[in-house]
Amino acid sequence: MNSRIDWRKIFEDFETLEYSMAALSARTRLPETTLARFSLGVQPGPIMGPGIVAVWCHLTGKAETFLPMLPERKAVARALAAAPPAEPESPAAKLSRDIEKVLNGWVTATRRGSRG
């Protein structure tokens, strides 16, 4: 159950609801330092997670089916694989582009100098 829950979002909801870490710690009997790690996205174990979820459900009035979830890793990997790969710039193309920039800068500077 816990592996796909967006724990950062859960703790953002607690913050939005102005529910303090101290209150959550007292309610779940978990140390505030442990809760702080979970708020950074560390996945709680199967013993600690359900207690936090229960408090979230109670405070938000939402069922577990509405828990914020992370995208599935396979779905993200498929989306990245479907994107066309960026073509790396060849050394010759980079050199050509750099020379063009230098020459354009020199021509511009020469034109400005000849006007004055």
32: CB partners within 8 A, 6+ apart: 21, 22, 25
Domain 2-66, CATH number (from 1.10.238, 1.10.260, 3.10.20, 3.60.21): 1.10.260
Structure tokens at 6: 């967006």
In the block, which residue shows the tokens 């870490």?
21
Give residues with Cβ within 8 angstroms of 11, minimum separation 6. 35, 38, 39
Dump pLDDT digits (tens) for 12-47.
999 999 999 999 999 999 999 999 999 998 889 888
The answer to whether the CB of 11 falls within 8 A of the CB of 20 is no
Q: What is the pTM of this model?
A: 0.60
Half-sphere exposure of 69 (CA within 13 A, CB side): 11
